[in-house]
Amino acid sequence: MTQTPVPVRRALISVSDKTGLLDLARALIAHGAEILSTGGSARALREAGLKVTEVSDHTGFPEILDGRVKTLVPQIHGGILGRRDLPAHVAQMEQHGIAPIDLIAVNLYPFEATVASGAGAEDCIENIDIGGPALIRAASKNHDHVVVLTDPAQYGAIIAALSEGGTTLEARRALAGAAYARTAAYDAAIAAWFAAQRGDVLPERLTVAGQRRESLRYGENPHQQAAFYADGSNRPGVATARQIQGKALSYNNLNDTDAAFEAVAEFDAPAVVIVKHANPCGIATADSLSAAWDLALRCDPVSAFGGIVALNRTLDAEAAARIAAIFTEVIVAPDATDEAREILSRKKNLRLLLTGALPDPAEGGVIIRSVAGGFLAQTRDNGRIVPAELKVVTQRAPTEAEMADLIFAFRVCKHVKSNAIIYAKDQATVGIGAGQMSRVDSARIAAIKGADASRAAGLDQPLTAGSVVASDAFFPFADGLEAAIAAGATAVIQPGGSIRDDEVIAAADRAGIAMVFTGMRHFRH
């Protein structure tokens, strides 16, 4: 096909989002195009003093069924789909009085926004657009001859093209691809809504759609391409956050920030989470954010350098000053005081993200991960143990303080890569072992981290002395537990379920420590 610009002689405009509408229409009219329109779009054009022809006047067929049928007629679809280079098409169009339509500007009924607003089923169904997707798909198919606009952001380039005589095939093809992506995402949202209505979390056909929020410099490594997409769920976090300061976020920054913010949302008391390479290196709760920061940092001050910090309260000046004292890549919180923002503004490269809210750890949702030839989907790990349902399996039961720390530590487990071992004391981590192939190695590494932190703090004994320990899955042998006992743990929480549970329980009893089973594990791979 030729790249000679093709002029627009007739355009159909039917948009729910009126942004840029008048600028587009004025440019079309200025370059000799006739405007066809419907409903609110036609009214807006007339009120602006622009000449517009109602679609019903053009077709001779009225809008019916409360506006459900407006453009689903041969005079419209024939004008869009007819090929100008086929004599048979041209002859049939002339025979039936069908005028060519060279451009359509359509954006769809706000179905996604209606669902997000919590509207009832009837309102959601009424906001399922039928005519719009049909118009978009028809124009996209015939993009050799027709321009299809689905987003006000596209108008500027087309207005400029009109001044140059019309659009090129290359431009029309790009717009057609974007249009099909839009209708695919729209249908995906509708399919997801119907699945949710019947409680089908993982339906037979799972459609995934996202809106590119940002093109990233690169992925995990400089030779990888990457982009950040929003799925429209509006779960508080990196997709909803406002970046107050700092340079652009990288792929790794976004991944780590998400991990940190999801973890900090687990806790009701003021909490701080420090993450490095998607794993927490310190988590603590306290009476204030500054106190929680001190405890979280104490767990692993070496790894915290260049880390991601998440808070579950409005960031105040005292906490901001303490965090700013070390190199930090990102701070994410629901909000920040003016004083805290001023303090952090002195750190030009530090990114500050404010989300406005915390995600709900109990909320469902689907997690997707790609594999060769497909992808895996699972529901979000929103499991949370019920203290009254914990099973004490040793001769000694945990004390009240130990039980509180055990519950804290097991919540931390959910956010640490398996095999995960967490030492905790006084609602703060004092040793974290993550991502090891052997559970006993995780127990030993966590103890080493605790010993290193103790030396850094100038303490006479390891932080892990008198701590509790949590394991994200059962101990397959007693050796992992014995490593925790050697580190000074006095109580253990684990799912249980190993064929060697009796051996592990016996080892705990010999050491005089308490152990509880949760019946729930928190693998995170």
Same domain, 395 and 348: no
**Does residue 141 have an active-site annotation?**
yes
Considering 140, 170, 197, which residue would you say is the last residue of a domain?
197
pLDDT in tens, 162-187: 988 888 999 999 999 999 999 999 99
Catalytic residue among 18, 31, 141, 347: 141
Q: Which amino acid is at 25?
A: A
Same domain, 443 and 497: yes
Question: Which residues, listed in sequence order, are joined to residue 276 by a DSSP beta bridge?
Answer: 279
pLDDT in tens, 366-422: 899 989 999 899 989 999 999 999 999 999 999 999 999 999 999 999 999 999 999
Q: What is the DSSP letter of 122?
A: H
- What's the total number of domains in the chain? 3
Same domain, 296 and 156: no
Same domain, 261 and 188: no
For strand 421-424 and strand 429-433, is the pairing parallel, antiparallel, or unpaired? Answer: antiparallel
pLDDT in tens, 269-304: 999 999 999 999 999 999 999 999 999 999 999 999
400 domain residue, yes or no = yes
479-493 as b/e, with b when 16 or more CB fall inside 10 Å? bbbbbbbebbbbbbb
Same domain, 332 and 410: no
Same domain, 167 and 45: yes
- The reported pLDDT for the residue numbered 2 is 47
Tell me how far apart the 2 most distant CA atoms of the chain are, in Å. Answer: 97
What whole-number distance in Å separates Cα of residue 64 and Cα of residue 504?
74
Do 423 and 282 meet the contact criterion of CB atoms below 8 Å apart? no
**Nearest alpha-carbon partner for 296 in 407, 402, 432, 483:** 432
What whole-number distance in Å separates Cα of residue 35 and Cα of residue 102?
11
Question: Which residues, listed in sequence order, are joined to residue 370 by a DSSP beta bridge?
Answer: 375
**Nearest alpha-carbon partner for 193 in 120, 135, 106:** 120
Q: List strand residue ranges (DSSP E) for 326-373, in order.
A: 328-333, 351-354, 366-371
Concatenating the DSSP letter of every residue in 240-290 gives T-EEEESSPPPHHHHHHHHHHHHHHTT-SSSEEEEEETTEEEEEEE-SSHH
380 domain residue, yes or no = no
**Total Cβ atoms within 10 A of residue 475:** 29
**Does residue 58 have an active-site annotation?**
no
Do 262 and 284 meet the contact criterion of CB atoms below 8 Å apart? no
What whole-number distance in Å separates Cα of residue 481 and Cα of residue 488?
11
Peptide bond into 419 cis (omega under 30): yes
Q: Which two tokens stand for residue 64?
A: 């019916």
Q: What stretches in the chain show pLDDT beneath 70? A: 1-3, 67
Question: Which residues, listed in sequence order, are joined to residue 215 by a DSSP beta bridge?
Answer: 227
What whole-number distance in Å separates Cα of residue 352 and Cα of residue 335?
10
Catalytic residue among 18, 31, 277, 347: 277
73 domain residue, yes or no = yes
Find the CATH number of the domain harbouring 474: 3.40.140.20
**Total Cβ atoms within 10 A of residue 20:** 18
**Nearest alpha-carbon partner for 21 in 37, 5, 32:** 37
Q: Which two tokens stand for residue 232?
A: 């429209």
**Total Cβ atoms within 10 A of residue 510:** 12
522 domain residue, yes or no = no
367 domain residue, yes or no = no
- The reported pLDDT for the residue numbered 188 is 92
Do 137 and 177 meet the contact criterion of CB atoms below 8 Å apart? no
User: Could you identify the residue written with the tokens 């506006």?
Assistant: 67
Same domain, 416 and 295: no
Q: Which domain holds residue 268?
A: 236-354
Find the CATH number of the domain harbouring 106: 3.40.50.1380
Q: Which two tokens stand for residue 216?
A: 């990233």
Considering 333, 354, 375, which residue would you say is the last residue of a domain?
354
Same domain, 344 and 391: no
